[in-house]
Amino acid sequence: MKERLSGFLLMAVVVPMALMGYLVLCWVGLFGRAERGRAGVRALDHFVNATLFDGYAWESVSSHAWRDRHRRWAQWVIWVTDHFQHGHCQRANKREQPLVDLMLAKGLHRQTIF
Protein backbone atom coordinates (compact mmCIF):
# COMPACT_ATOMS: atom_id res chain seq x y z
CA MET A 1 0.00 0.00 0.00
CA LYS A 2 2.88 2.37 0.76
CA GLU A 3 4.26 1.84 -2.74
CA ARG A 4 0.91 2.67 -4.34
CA LEU A 5 0.48 5.82 -2.26
CA SER A 6 4.04 6.94 -3.01
CA GLY A 7 3.49 6.22 -6.71
CA PHE A 8 0.27 8.23 -6.73
CA LEU A 9 1.93 11.21 -5.04
CA LEU A 10 4.90 11.01 -7.39
CA MET A 11 2.61 10.88 -10.43
CA ALA A 12 0.70 13.92 -9.15
CA VAL A 13 3.97 15.80 -9.64
CA VAL A 14 5.32 13.99 -12.70
CA VAL A 15 2.22 14.09 -14.92
CA PRO A 16 1.99 17.90 -15.11
CA MET A 17 5.73 18.00 -15.81
CA ALA A 18 5.26 15.35 -18.53
CA LEU A 19 2.56 17.45 -20.18
CA MET A 20 4.86 20.47 -20.10
CA GLY A 21 7.65 18.29 -21.51
CA TYR A 22 5.41 17.24 -24.39
CA LEU A 23 4.70 20.86 -25.25
CA VAL A 24 8.40 21.68 -25.10
CA LEU A 25 9.10 18.65 -27.31
CA CYS A 26 6.66 19.98 -29.91
CA TRP A 27 8.42 23.36 -29.85
CA VAL A 28 11.89 21.79 -29.99
CA GLY A 29 10.75 19.55 -32.86
CA LEU A 30 9.89 22.62 -34.90
CA PHE A 31 12.53 25.12 -33.86
CA GLY A 32 15.16 23.44 -31.65
CA ARG A 33 18.22 21.25 -31.95
CA ALA A 34 17.63 17.87 -33.57
CA GLU A 35 19.58 16.08 -30.80
CA ARG A 36 17.28 17.44 -28.10
CA GLY A 37 14.19 16.50 -30.09
CA ARG A 38 15.52 12.99 -30.71
CA ALA A 39 16.19 12.49 -26.99
CA GLY A 40 12.66 13.64 -26.15
CA VAL A 41 11.05 11.38 -28.73
CA ARG A 42 13.12 8.43 -27.47
CA ALA A 43 11.99 9.11 -23.88
CA LEU A 44 8.36 9.37 -25.04
CA ASP A 45 8.76 6.09 -26.96
CA HIS A 46 10.00 4.33 -23.82
CA PHE A 47 7.17 5.86 -21.76
CA VAL A 48 4.55 4.62 -24.24
CA ASN A 49 6.15 1.17 -24.26
CA ALA A 50 6.10 0.93 -20.46
CA THR A 51 2.57 2.26 -19.98
CA LEU A 52 0.50 1.22 -23.01
CA PHE A 53 2.29 -1.98 -24.04
CA ASP A 54 3.38 -3.20 -20.57
CA GLY A 55 7.02 -3.26 -21.65
CA TYR A 56 10.27 -2.35 -19.99
CA ALA A 57 10.95 1.34 -19.36
CA TRP A 58 14.38 1.02 -21.00
CA GLU A 59 13.08 -0.51 -24.23
CA SER A 60 11.43 1.09 -27.26
CA VAL A 61 8.07 0.07 -28.70
CA SER A 62 9.87 -1.22 -31.81
CA SER A 63 12.23 -3.48 -29.87
CA HIS A 64 9.40 -4.77 -27.71
CA ALA A 65 7.29 -5.45 -30.81
CA TRP A 66 10.05 -7.60 -32.29
CA ARG A 67 10.48 -9.48 -29.00
CA ASP A 68 6.69 -10.16 -28.87
CA ARG A 69 6.18 -10.43 -32.64
CA HIS A 70 3.64 -13.26 -32.25
CA ARG A 71 1.13 -10.83 -30.67
CA ARG A 72 -1.33 -8.89 -32.80
CA TRP A 73 -0.33 -5.40 -31.59
CA ALA A 74 3.33 -6.21 -32.30
CA GLN A 75 2.56 -7.44 -35.80
CA TRP A 76 0.78 -4.15 -36.48
CA VAL A 77 3.76 -2.10 -35.19
CA ILE A 78 6.17 -4.15 -37.33
CA TRP A 79 3.93 -3.73 -40.40
CA VAL A 80 3.71 0.05 -39.92
CA THR A 81 7.42 0.59 -39.28
CA ASP A 82 8.39 -1.61 -42.24
CA HIS A 83 6.72 0.95 -44.49
CA PHE A 84 9.21 3.56 -43.28
CA GLN A 85 12.31 1.40 -42.81
CA HIS A 86 12.35 -2.29 -43.67
CA GLY A 87 13.52 -4.40 -40.70
CA HIS A 88 13.35 -1.47 -38.26
CA CYS A 89 11.95 -3.46 -35.32
CA GLN A 90 14.43 -6.30 -35.75
CA ARG A 91 17.34 -3.82 -35.82
CA ALA A 92 15.95 -1.99 -32.79
CA ASN A 93 15.73 -5.24 -30.87
CA LYS A 94 19.24 -6.29 -31.87
CA ARG A 95 20.53 -2.94 -30.60
CA GLU A 96 18.46 -2.88 -27.37
CA GLN A 97 18.30 -6.54 -26.31
CA PRO A 98 21.74 -6.52 -24.61
CA LEU A 99 20.56 -3.58 -22.48
CA VAL A 100 17.31 -5.38 -21.61
CA ASP A 101 19.28 -8.48 -20.63
CA LEU A 102 21.62 -6.39 -18.43
CA MET A 103 18.71 -4.63 -16.68
CA LEU A 104 17.01 -7.96 -16.00
CA ALA A 105 20.26 -9.49 -14.72
CA LYS A 106 20.78 -6.51 -12.36
CA GLY A 107 17.17 -6.73 -11.14
CA LEU A 108 16.22 -3.22 -12.18
CA HIS A 109 12.72 -4.39 -13.08
CA ARG A 110 11.94 -5.19 -9.44
CA GLN A 111 10.22 -2.99 -6.87
CA THR A 112 12.40 -0.03 -5.89
CA ILE A 113 10.24 1.82 -3.38
CA PHE A 114 10.02 0.40 0.15
CA gap 72, 79 in Å, rounded? 11
What's this model's pTM, rounded to 2 decimal places?
0.80
Q: What's CA 1's distance to the chain center, in Å?
A: 26
Indicate the angle between helix axes 2-31 and 34-51, nearest 10 degrees: 150
What confidence score (pLDDT) does residue 5 get?
84
Q: What is the pLDDT of residue 44?
A: 93
- Rounded Cα gap, residues 81 and 99, in angstroms: 22
- Whether residue 99 is predicted with pLDDT greater than 80 in this model: the reply is yes
Of residues 76, 74, 38, the one with CA closest to residue 54: 74
pLDDT in tens, 43-95: 999 999 999 999 999 999 999 999 999 999 999 999 999 999 999 999 999 99
The pLDDT, as a whole number, for residue 30 is: 92
